[in-house]
Structure 1
Amino acid sequence: MSFLASPFRLRRLGVLGMNQRNADFIMRYNPRHLYPLVDDKLQTKTLALARGIAVPELYAVITEQHEGKDLARILGDHEDFVIKPSHGSGGNGILVVCGRFGNSFRKPSGDLITLTAMQHHVSNILSGMYSLGGLSDQAIIEYRVKFDPFFEHICFQGVPDIRVIVFRGVPVAAMVRLPTRASDGKANLHQGAMGIGIDLATGKSRDGVFRGLSCDIHPDTGHSTLGIAIPHWESILRLAIQCADTVGLGYLGADIVMDRDLGPLMLELNARPGLTVQVANQRGLLLNLNQIDAMPNPSGRCRRTPEAGTIPACDPCWD
């Protein structure tokens, strides 16, 4: 699809724009008072655990600047972990550690980071450098998801995640975000990860996007990303639905990771999911959204059975 396509053609193809997303779906279906349940990752994790949703184990929470001085004690014997802001967005402020080397720690890229540098990073998190609105924040230290070897040929170093868009309890689109060298092993499109669309009915990968352009070859491994059957696909969809039920938002993005030993885990939720999933799938969101918006009770009709034929599909492809 050309990014210079006319507005008429974009509408015909069901492409959802940001203004329409905000006005017709986020503002209508996401009550403002529920935003903290997803904007605060600590609240999200606590609520998920209470509902029996599988999440990465929480090791520690740092809330005060003076606690950063005790980081070595707080980490204890943990050799691999993730430090991230509770109110972060866009993947900013996330530090992934996958091992120790002497008195330093190793990142997925192979670069080393000292304890002092990590303390400085924690201090930046607490001061609000990465938080929404720049307000003071908390630093979460949690289990680092173990890489599932299923993805080894289409992933660079880090752990991929799967973004599922859920509207009124029905999954309407999904993509897998693959870390690259450019993204420093993070599954974040804004930082250079690759997005691959997923067919909802079959769980197989299709078109992809890298740096805003259509792409079906991983830039680092050179392997094709087409036609790959995502394992545990039905479980992933059901987990996304359960997440939507838990926080009560009508339109959200659920980020799910595949752990080598634990299977699907909910990583975080987003009340304002981006629109790149349309480019990754080469399909607009609007046709699916309008179908479900017109249903009096979509959750009772199709969300509990995500087999082929029960989830509305958007047929028109982009040229």
Structure 2
Amino acid sequence: MRGFSLRHLLVKARGGMVSPQALQRLGVLGMNARNVDYIARYNDRDKYPIVDDKLNTKRAAKRAGIPVPELIDAFEVQPSRSRVMAVIEPLWQFVIKPARGSGGKGILVIVGREGDKYLKPSGAQVSALDILRHVSNIHSGLYSLGGKPDRVMIEALVDFDPVFDNYSVEGVPDIRVIVFRGFPVMAMLRCSTHDSDGKANLHQGAVGVGIDLATGRSCHAVQRGLRISKHPDTEMRFDALQVPGWRDLVRLAASCYEMTGLGYLGCDIVLDRKRGPLLLEANARPGLAIQIANGAGLRTRLGLIEAMELEQLEKNVDERVIYAMHQFAGAGES
């Protein structure tokens, strides 16, 4: 995979200048192959509600002993104004999110207060009326998949690990790990920027940093599909980045296989200063931008797991982590 820009190849492929067969030979997984060969084949649809609803995910994770951000309250139905205010009034920091939102939409992060105003990470102020309106919009389905009525979650704000202080702006960075049949196969750190309004979504302007599965060190970074060497806001270089507690984080991701029963999934994990890795959410249809962030294709790695004998697939969580760290060490573009 070295010696070429994965981003450039994908652009050429969309323009018909590179054939799907050529991308396949290079190990790049395309959308159609992801949908047919992996999501449809390995993810039973009756398991989707576990991950398509963040409240369901949180409850399943707690049953499985997987740590998650603290849930302060949840509104299953449209709450009264007084109930919402009773929950947020004593809080200094909190996050409001839709249970069935996607792509980071509908997430409101509050990091402090000034008088009767609430502060977003950007410094912008919102009023209690703004928050009540936001809660109502979530319930009406404004941010949910298919526009269906949704549930509202209020979570404690993650006190993220200071190792990321200069790598993320106005928001909490998260680590996405793709897990296939219980084996972690690829990882990236998503760092928020001013452009992304504190959200860790690449399509909104966040930075994707490929992470070496063996060490937790950065190996490649991109923003809006273009390779970069430092954070656009802080100018902190990514080649100095190493995620602490990496083995524990990868083990948490691998454990989501048993929790969800899904063969192909993405696990989004945050690092709390005191609690360590926490599962933020899981995704039955993880995007493919992780390949660009790593400068490497997914198909070859997935193929290695598919070729395993049945007894090899029956490894426990720790054995799967050890295998993945050894097999996929330093596999990204440097």
Query: TM-score, normalised to structure 1's length?
Result: 0.95
User: 1:85–1:137: 8 Å Cα contact kept in structure 2?
Assistant: yes
1:81 alignment partner in structure 2 = 94
Tell me if 1:104 matches 2:117. yes
Q: Counterpart of 1:172 in structure 2: which amino acid?
A: V
Give the secondary-structure state (helix, strand or coil) at the position aligned to 2:92.
Answer: coil
Tell me if 1:257 matches 2:265. no
2:327 alignment partner in structure 1 = 312
Query: Following superposition of structure 1 onto structure 2, how do residues 177-216 of structure 1 map, counting pairs within 5 Å?
Result: 177-216=190-229
* Cα shift at 1:181: 0.5
Q: 2:301 aligns with which of 280, 284, 288?
A: 288
* Cα shift at 1:158: 1.2
Give the secondary-structure state (helix, strand or coil) at the position aligned to 1:153.
Answer: coil
Structure 2 distance, partners of 1:200, 1:299, is: 19
Structure 1 runs not aligned, ≥5 long? none
Query: TM-score, normalised to structure 2's length?
Result: 0.91
* Cα shift at 1:304: 2.1
2:30 alignment partner in structure 1 = 17
Are the structure 2 counterparts of residues 309 and 141 from structure 1 closer, same or farther at C-alpha, using a change threshold of 3 Å? closer
* Cα shift at 1:307: 4.2
1:143 alignment partner in structure 2 = 156
* Cα shift at 1:295: 0.7
Q: How many matched pairs?
A: 319
Structure 2 runs not aligned, ≥5 long? none
Tell me if 1:176 matches 2:201. no
Are the structure 2 counterparts of residues 145 and 90 from structure 1 closer, same or farther at C-alpha, using a change threshold of 3 Å? same
Structure 2 distance, partners of 1:70, 1:239, is: 35
Q: 1:163 aligns with which of 156, 176, 181?
A: 176
CA RMSD of aligned residues (A): 1.9
Q: 1:118 aligns with which of 127, 131, 134?
A: 131
User: 2:72–2:156: 8 Å Cα contact kept in structure 1?
Assistant: yes
Residues 181-203 of structure 1 show CA distances to partners (whole Å, capped at 9, x for unaligned) of: 01111111122110000011111
Structure 2 distance, partners of 1:166, 1:75, is: 36
Structure 2 distance, partners of 1:48, 1:197, is: 26
* Cα shift at 1:310: 5.1
Q: 1:223 aligns with which of 230, 236, 249?
A: 236
* Cα shift at 1:129: 0.4
* Cα shift at 1:66: 4.1
Structure 1 distance, partners of 2:156, 2:300, is: 38
Q: Counterpart of 1:206 in structure 2: which amino acid?
A: C
User: 1:178–1:194: 8 Å Cα contact kept in structure 2?
Assistant: yes
Structure 1 distance, partners of 2:333, 2:242, is: 22
Are the structure 2 counterparts of residues 16 and 227 from structure 1 closer, same or farther at C-alpha, using a change threshold of 3 Å? farther
